[in-house]
Amino acid sequence: MIRLIDVYKEYDNGTKALKGVNMRIDDGEFVFLVGPSGSGKSTVIKLITGEIAATEGRLMVNGYNLNNIAPRQIPYMRRTLGIIFQDFRLIEKKTVYENLAFVMRAIGASNRELRRRIPYVLQLVGLDQKADRYPGQLSGGEQQRVAIARALVNNPSMIIADEPTGNLDPQRSLEIMMLLERINELGTTVLVVTHEEELVNKFTKRVVAIQNGRIISDETGGYYNGEKV
Ligand SMILES: Nc1ncnc2c1ncn2[C@@H]1O[C@H](COP(=O)(O)OP(=O)(O)O)[C@@H](O)[C@H]1O
Ligand SMILES: [Mg+2]
């Protein structure tokens, strides 16, 4: 579960990115976080992942209280999250399989665990035939599916995707969202940041809309220009 209570974020240069944000995401939910460029979406994500700290307010992430978390606990908190970015961030010199093996080994998984888990997640994202390819040999949509597999491979309780379809065409974008929907149906909580309203409107999901550092609506169903339709 994620909770933000009266969260404010002012960057060092004085930019007030968040102005009192309250948000709660329960286990098992699928949530779109939408809003125009500069509205504070990525700031919310970076606070949740612990990349930046809030100026004011309280944050709870999957049982960890980020206001008083010990630095040595932060890696354990992060392991509860699988994070996906717009630009994929795969290791170009490693194959698809090796990209996944790398993040499993980083948390001490055994070779036996790798051999069991990696084929499963690659099959889930539809890339079991491409385990030996390098990222440069894959399309953008396929690379993003590798990034999703990598986010899932250590079995996080929540997937967070910040503009995951920003570099993809509409059909590939829809496929990625449908894959995230399927992953949610299998039990993982999903939080997707996007500014693509048309794509959001293809689903009937909870939509949290942020504008100018404040949440302006939180509804399940259609969304257009910050208004429920
Ligand atoms: N590291 C930073 N330093 C100063 N200002 C920042 C920084 N990161 C983001 N901002 C500003 O904070 C506001 C919110 O940014 P961001 O959360 O990235 O918005 P979004 O992801 O919705 O486009 C914007 O005005 C942006 O310019
Ligand atoms: Mg952003």
The pLDDT mean for the chain works out to 95
Q: Which amino acid is at 185?
A: E
**For a pLDDT cut of 90, what percent of the chain falls above it?**
94
Alpha carbon distance, N-terminus to C-terminus of the chain: 28
Specify the pLDDT at position 89.
94
- Over 70: is that where the pLDDT of 198 sits? yes
99-117: average pLDDT: 97
Burial (Cβ within 10 Å: 0-12, 13-18, ≥19) of residue 26: exposed
Cβ distance 41 to 48 under 8 Å?
A: no
Q: Is the dihedral of CA 104, 109, 110, 115 positive or negative?
A: negative
Specify the residue with its C-alpha closest to ligand 1, atom 24: 38
The encoded tokens of residue 142 equal 């396929």
**Cα separations in angstroms, 227 against 10, 101, 142, 195, 217:** 27, 43, 33, 14, 8
Specify the pLDDT at position 223.
58
- Over 60: is that where the pLDDT of 11 sits? yes
**Cα separations in angstroms, 108 against 37, 64, 94, 221:** 38, 22, 19, 41
| Distance from residue 18's CA to the centre of ligand 1 (Å) | 9
> Does residue 16's CB lie within 6 angstroms of at least one atom of ligand 1?
no
**Domain 1-80+158-181+189-223 -> CATH class:** alpha beta
pLDDT (tens digit per residue) in 56-89: 999 999 999 999 999 999 999 999 999 999 999 9
The conformation of residue 128, written as its DSSP 8-state character, comes to: G
Is this model's pTM higher than 0.75 or not? yes
| Distance from residue 106's CA to the centre of ligand 2 (Å) | 27
Domain ranges of the chain: 1-80+158-181+189-223, 90-155
Residue 228 banded pLDDT, cuts 50, 70, 90: low
| Distance from residue 162's CA to the centre of ligand 2 (Å) | 7
How many other C-beta atoms lie within 10 A of the C-beta of residue 159?
A: 22
